[in-house]
Structure 1
Amino acid sequence: MKEKTIFQNLKERIKIAFEVRLCHFIDKLVCISIKYKVEKNTLLIIRLDAIGDYILFRNFLEELANDRIYKNYKRVLCGNIMWKSLFEEWDKETVDEVIWIDRKKFYQNPLYRYQKQKEIRKQGFEIAIESTYSRLLLFGDAIEHVSGAEKRIGNEGNTDNLIEKEKKLADSFYTELLETPNKPVFEFDRNKIFFEQFLNRKIDLKYPSLLNKVNTKEKKRNQIALFIGASEVYKTWHFENFAKLILELNAINNELNFILIGGKNEQILAQNIIDFIKNKNNSENQSETQNITSLLSVSPPTNIINLTGKTNLIELTQKIAESNLLITNETVASHLGAATQTKTICIANGRHIGRFSPYPSLENTEYSLPIFYIFPPKIEEELQQNSKEKVYEKYCNSMGVDINEIGVGRVLEEVKKKIL
């Protein structure tokens, strides 16, 4: 068995090495074979990361569109096809053209990669920018290089996704690298720092906003949305915790309506929650921690609507916007809650703390966001005893702490403060 595992690991490493070399070969082939003429006043904007990253980036597309210089440029976005529907609903007027990239195909399909790189290079961009902090050699960096733009501007970045040797190569693809703080900085603020340097002016944005894109005015008083999944298992609060929380809240106020939201990947979790609640009278399901209302005498709530896998991203955003409260794991939903100014409780394990959570302290400022983060007890205790910066430095690049150390009672306590 051990020999089989070693063989499988070796086979996988050989496969990855081959794919990487093939990507480099294709990029080199495009650079050699495709001639182009630089077109003045053309700008390529590269951003290939995930949906949550897009929410923290998208407002700066409007800044480019309204800038006194770049409003007169042909602006072309090279974006991740995962968030195409959101872009087309909210931001399509901010650029003149979009080149969509399917990251999986861009990495694994040589013909697809060749065609996309050829399409980009033939346009002959004057300027290309890649604002991602944790850059990827075979994606944004490779596109910058192949674009052949006269000015290729990127973020100095870190080595989260690059080893030192790769970063040295990737850095050589740029004509200029803009520095952002080499420490945990909230990602929206880091984007702001980058674009302020690129545009050479201050930007009057405090946080990501969808207020002019989504109906946020009519909050349904008794509606609680629960985003029950996450991109990784270690970032996902256990379904039993969500089920017990629903039972507790229903015991306090049986007029509350609970909406389970998420994609197709969350459908199994949603069914597990519903099954747990239906079977709550089983003795195994009735055990609960102290200081939490007993579930024994409470009727199962019938006011649960399962929308997992039944909404597109636009509809999901609207469900969050119209809810009185969002309870979510640390995922794209937490940023959608902030952008729609929905009361949000985010359950987080501390992974990338300081970068993607929590939103910066808004005390003593002219604006506020109704978003609150709950971390495992160990991290919350350290935040009380030490400076935020020290805790962020400790946990930002770690895998965080077990998210299920966060008890139902702790979340219930915060829900009561927010709406009950």
Structure 2
Amino acid sequence: MPPQKVIIDTDPGVDDVLALLLALSAGEEELQVLLISLTFGNVDVEGCLLNVVSMFHVIELERKWRLESGLPVGFGCLSAHKPIIAVGADRPLEDEVVLGDYFRAFCSCSPLGGELWQAPHFTPEQTWKHMFATTPVLEKDEEHPPNFRPTNSPAHKEILRILRENPVDSVTIIAVGPLTNLALAAEEDPETFLRVKEVVVMGGNIDVPGNVTPNGEFNTVACPYSAARIYSLTSPTPSSTAPSPSTNKKLKPTPGTFSRRLNLTIFPLDITTPHFLTQETFTNAIAPLLSYPSPSPLAQWTKIFINATFAMLKKIYSGEAPGDTDFSLHDPMCVYYVLTRQRGGWEALEERDIRIETSGKWTRGMCIVDHRGKRVELDAKKPVLLGDVGIWAHCEFGNRVRQMVKSPDEKGMAGEMLRRIYGGA
């Protein structure tokens, strides 16, 4: 069986980087990462670029260390195919920018680790930033990145190009940040965007509280308009649930129908929060690598910002139950699903009509689900709920979202992730 082709759309903070490491450490027979598209979110998009380039720099140091230490080099996925990195949206489609840099992300100008100043050798001298510019200036004999390919094409255009050049239903998009790049791609060429096999999203909260507002999860709050547009593509009639552009006059209204519906699977806080990494588990996993004849660059690097994350959690939840300081693996869970879905054991609620609030003062980014009572047949062709004026129960309208509710092994995910990333898979 050929490897699964994936695009990872991300705003690299701590759990995003773990998700990327999990994907790139996969075997070449498991995944082929075609593109890593960057969006604002945890930090601004320039900080995201520095974070992801630093990650690739450390991976290269790690591979050399493993080779010199007589250990399996790993990262077969990366060895077989160098992914493209593309810079994308630097702000939401509408409204103000909301960044998550109150919570540690990790470049020197971002939350991953304002802590990384402690280990400057993990920050590459060459960031190849100019190669991502609109008009890159390349020196004739310039050194190119060893394990990724930069592009100056905007992320959403790269998404469309890859979907256009690959067969229908052959590419999965794993989206673990605000959905702005995806919305821009769908806006420009919806039929090409709908060639995607599946869009796997970390975002939203259904029956649990939000994590940045009482009702909102960060990724949906950061760009609720984009989330609402993407969710609407699951509807038989997308125009029935898509938000209308209000301040951005460049955005087009969503057409009534398309040739096919989007296959969307979401991982809201309801399922991601219980899948966590404890500090003890993390410390035990990297301890042997730090005491090997020479220490692992990857173990050293991740120790800095992951321990900083645990320290931040302890400050936030001071005095709370010990479990509150565990680090939830929100973004890695989406990659883990793609890697393991063939094993079975995943359970989802199918075709849920989940919609995103785009403009509420207290409810921006809130996931709305209709919990009202039974249908009343007022018209045989149009079943509606009693008193319904929002066409929620109309058979031709409403979104059709797959909400993941159960994984094969809630407690085992963290261990498998660590084994894969640090070479024990």
Asked whether the two chains share a fold, i.e. TM above 0.5, the reply is: no
Higher relative contact order (CA 8 A, sep 6+): 2
Normalising by the residue count of structure 2, what TM-score does the alignment of the two structures yield? 0.33
More helix as a share of residues: 1
Q: TM-score w.r.t. structure 1 length?
A: 0.33
